[in-house]
Structure 1
Amino acid sequence: MQTGYFLIFFVLPIFLEGCCVGNKQKKRTGLQENTTHLHYRAVEGEMFMMPCIKSMKGHMKVAWSRTAEGEGGTEGPSFDCDKVFSAEIKHSGTYTDPSGGSKLFFYLQVVQKERLGCFHPDESWGMLVNGAGGEIPCPGRNCSDNTDVRWYKGNRVVSEQRRASCEQNGLLHLCQVGEPDTGVYFCDRKIIEQGIMWTFRRAVNIRVIPHYKPSYRPRIVVPESNMAEEVELGQSHTLMCKVYFPFEINVSAVVRWYMNYGGNMENMTRLHMEKPQQKTLILEETEVIQSAIIKEVTSQHLNHTYTCIASNTVGNSAVTIKLKKKIKVKWPSLVGYPIVSLLVLAGLGIVLHVKWLELQLIYRSHIHCGKRDREDKEFDVFLSYVWSHPSAEADGCVSLSPQSGPDTDEEACLSSMNPLNTKEGQSTQTPLEVLLPRVLEERWGYHLCLLERDVLPGGAYTNDVVLAIQRSRMLICLLSADYLCNSNAVFVLESGVQALLQNSALKLLLIWTNRASASLIQPNPPLPTLVQKALKVLPSLDWTSGKSARATCNFWRSLRRAMPNCTEKNWFSSDHANDLPVTSIQYIY
């Protein structure tokens, strides 16, 4: 019995395939660091990779550059040692590594295919079955008695990789093949010619396949069998068939569409088809999409059936479908119109709900005038402002004096209604907070309410503001960045907006002294929502300080039109605008 066991363990390795069992890999080191002259030979049209220098610390990446040859020679291309390229005759020459510590010389000779004694193109590629073992022959090994071959995958020696493999008689044996084994392999053989050791490098492109022959018929995934596709009469329609084919080395995948007259499977006609679309999904299967177009669908097409047939070397698969008329859904008028009307009303209701406050302000400030100009009030205008600049009264004062004016109203406006048109006005830019009260009172004769002048100190600020607004026919706010950052000033504006919503007799006007700078600020705390919406829709003017005289003139004209009618001087109305006496504003220092 013991003798039997001994014979089994002795004889069994002999019958095992290849050298994958009980074989110790004879690892070979790459080119040593002290090697300075390398001679390599390649075949024209085959893949090639420059060698990398291996030191004790591992692989060192080398950039080989071809040197100039002869007088007036030009440098050739350069290649990294891990770059795969197709060898050409023009690549022959001497290469060096300029970046290396020691000067390395590399000689490359690319040989024409016709000069080789036995060249077989089929030796430069091969296929291995996934999950099984296989072997890769070195091209030209039958033409030479040199079986000492060193194999590389990329720039790594195969014998140094952690995998079950061995090299024997010029063949590379892989014990088990997987998808990562796909790629380019290089086999190096040593040749001595005229005392020079050449390395003849040949390439083999390996592809890992699941099997050599398909094992099942194609699978049709679209369309489903016995389904009905909806079509529109008079329109074109596309029939699409999506099929999965198993892998084949020599592809025999065929997909066709047929029309069966009256549903008779024996009476079929091939349809005109477009070019099939093909792509590989995974290693095992390929997707093919075949389409056929019916240019114009008629009622006769509804009586026929349509079959998609897919075939390969294993067999055929078929799917048959029908066409049916597409029913257009129409809403009954008694149901559709009320629904549309409700949707429109609901949309209008949402818009009114969101914009209701703005609409009220627009109506009360622009459209609904009422009797605001005929109501008796103690003050004509309540003027609200915040000092944005040092007071002009510190340097001088502004006085108004009558003078005889030009002949036309346009000339009168440009010469007298623009206070900055004078020589003195150009030298001193008077703030609107100083200029406007004097123009309204001294020139236009309005009775102003100023908090610092007409309200007794010691009272509650909120009550004084509300009472002053109630006693005024109009509220004018001089808006600026400082104004919107002042909580007391913002309270005046908010109280005026609330009074406008409650009492249509109040007139409200905004004058922006510097709209650009005011739009850039972020007040803290933020402006009330009522004020934010009011700033968008309330009537407003832009003070044109520093601009042309005509622009300034237009500002004063617009302001005069927006003012309430003066009971004492009814020529301030728009009907008597041209009868306004011409005066001038002079600056006295």
Structure 2
Amino acid sequence: MGDDCREIEGERFTSREKKLLVQNVSAEDGGNYACQARLTHMGKQYVVLNGIAVNITERSGDGRRIPKITYPKNNSIEVPLGSTLVVDCNITDARDNTNRRCWTVNDTLVDTYYNESKRIREGFESCAAFQEHTMCTVNITFLEVRMEDYGLPFTCRAGVSAAYIMLELPAPDFRAYLVGGLGALALVAASALCVYNIFKIDIVLWYRSAFRSAGTIEDGKLYDAYVLYPKPQSESQSHDVDTLVLKILPEVLEQQCGYKLFIFGRDEFPGQAVANVIDENTKLCRRLIVIIVPAWLSFGLLKNMPEEQIAVYNALIQDGMKVILIELGKIEDYTAMPESIQYIRQKHGAIQWSGDFTEQSQCMKTRFWKKVRYHMPPQRYPPSAVQLQKRVPSNCTAGPELGSRKKNCPFMPG
């Protein structure tokens, strides 16, 4: 070493602890290198030099002297924002190579670039030596992935070899959105169905009232319902049934709601045969209302009554008429009833009467009459205002309970 020794400069040369790292080695890098250190001994300062001669050789052939980075491969990886990430750089190198292996960002060592925050750091290098090559791993750790990290190339370098990774935000999981949307839709549908099942009677009656169709129903029918009722033997039962059928039903369904009923014993012409009256008039009705009294003797009266047989036959077999069962009391067992009545009860259910038999207590807006109106056909032409003034009782109740006697029950058609 002579006096022409000069200080090494340039980006290719990096001093790291006690090592000098040279990138992109060329033939011009050969020569004598000296490391200078200052020591103090017994109060005196000394300059110590240690030199080394470097020869640059060129090799041709299979290129085993060039490090090979097996991962990363200039690829992108999806990483959620704010997560912790560790990425390994895997390098295969010649066993006697001393190439530098490190991570850089923006052509700067990662540890230097993030020196203040230390949020991203290069890890320790680990190597495993084999007969002809060495496999090394050096990782990079992201303590917290931030927005500024996305789209930035983080490069692993090993001598002249380099490969990078780029972070990307994960693509939206449309399946999760789809499942969530379908779940919300199913919940809304279930809630709507539940609300409808609870309030469907009021909803249907409101709809009929709000969107009333004008004109008559062209179905060839003259009556909205045929009323089929028993003839009990006891005087008290007969009085209750006659009051309901001949006074209360016409008061509410005909006068308040505007329906037209055919009631046997009230609407047939004198001298007509019973069978002919029933057969002809049930065919002219849109509904069949069947009144059932629990106190019948094992319901034998109903079983043997020709009127019931003809009316139910026409309703179920010939015309497919909808049947409305009204129970004048709670009925636990239907096994003694005719099979036709049992079938109707099982398929359509029944409406149970829970009021008294005073005409003054009835109003179309009570729960019982709402259920009856719900099963009746929609009305086309409501009664006139003058008729309503005369027909609606002055003490009609609008409350949900039958038998109360509050005043001012407004008219609600249909």
> Normalising by structure 1, what TM-score?
0.24
Identify, as 1 or 2, the structure richer in strand: 1
Which is bigger in relative contact order (C-alpha 8 A, separation at least 6)? 2
> Normalising by structure 2, what TM-score?
0.33
